[in-house]
């Protein structure tokens, strides 16, 4: 079920396709992983719904947050960022794609840079941030090759929770985890999110 609001056109404007590198992409270096970790720490949030909580990522300077549909309520969710717990409205929620977009109060939000890959992410390097297991430990960025899955999804060999963001080696957001699968996860590329936003905004 989709819940389009007036914020959808603004978000569509943010999800502009960025040029992709020609040819095969190299495995992200240590410097790349560190850059991803820094950007992740700045733009990641925690989303809390009526039944469970999990990660999300800020994708719009007006407070739009991308997360998993399982983490939001029918109309609202709570977004925790920088020590504040803020009520956010559901802009889009798809049970089919298992993805959601919520919008927090207006303000200056540190949105993650984004990259659309229309041809898909299978066979490309992506980076996920593994959360620290114990207090005092640090989050760890890890690179893995995206694997083919039923369209429009792709799979990764990273045990990330639904709502976790995935980046390219330059620290740009390219996808979001929607489901855990064994020792890995299933994810949705941003290009699919943009297509569903456009569909929801269509008259």
Per-residue confidence in pLDDT tens, the chain, 203 aa:
444 444 555 555 555 544 444 346 789 999 999 999 999 999 999 999 998 999 999 999 888 999 999 999 999 999 999 889 999 999 999 999 999 999 998 888 999 999 999 888 999 999 999 998 887 789 999 999 999 999 999 999 999 999 999 999 999 999 999 999 999 999 999 999 999 888 876 55
Q: What DSSP string describes 7-28?
A: HHHHHHHH-PPPPPPSSPPPPP
What's the confidence (pLDDT) of residue 82? 87
pLDDT of residue 15: 59
Sheet of 165-167: strand order equals 140-145, 125-130, 165-167, 173-181, 184-189, 154-156, 147-148
pLDDT at 1: 43
Is the Cβ–Cβ distance between 82 and 119 less than 8 Å?
Answer: no
Cα separation, 17 vs 118, in Å, equals 8
> Which residues neighbour 185 within 8 Å (Cβ) at sequence distance 6 or greater?
155, 156, 158, 159, 160, 162, 164, 177, 179
pLDDT of residue 17: 43
DSSP string of 79-137? EEETTEEEEEEEEEEETTTTEEEEE--SS---PPPB---TT--TTSEEEEEEPPSSTT-
Q: How far apart are CA 155 and CA 121, in angstroms?
A: 9
| CB contact at 8 A, 60 and 9 | no
């Amino acid at each position: 079920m989709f819940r389009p609001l007036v914020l959808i056109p603004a978000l569509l404007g943010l999800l502009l396709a960025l040029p992709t590198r020609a040819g095969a992409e190299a495995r992200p270096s240590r410097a790349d992983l560190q850059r991803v970790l820094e950007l992740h720490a700045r733009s990641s949030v925690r989303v809390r719904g009526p039944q469970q909580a999990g990660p999300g990522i800020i994708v719009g300077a007006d407070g739009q947050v991308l997360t998993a549909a399982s983490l939001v309520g029918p109309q609202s969710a709570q977004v925790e960022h920088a020590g504040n717990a803020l009520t956010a409205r559901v802009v889009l929620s798809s049970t089919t794609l298992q993805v959601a977009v919520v919008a927090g109060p207006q303000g200056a939000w540190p949105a993650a840079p984004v990259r659309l890959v229309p041809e898909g992410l299978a066979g490309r390097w992506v980076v996920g941030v593994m959360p620290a297991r114990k207090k005092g430990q640090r989050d760890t960025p890890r690179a893995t090759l995206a694997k083919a899955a039923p369209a429009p999804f792709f799979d990764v060999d990273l045990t990330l929770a639904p709502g976790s963001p995935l980046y390219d080696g330059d620290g740009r957001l390219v996808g979001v985890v929607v489901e855990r699968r064994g020792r890995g996860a299933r994810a949705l590329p941003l290009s699919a999110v943009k297509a569903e936003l456009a569909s929801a905004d269509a008259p």
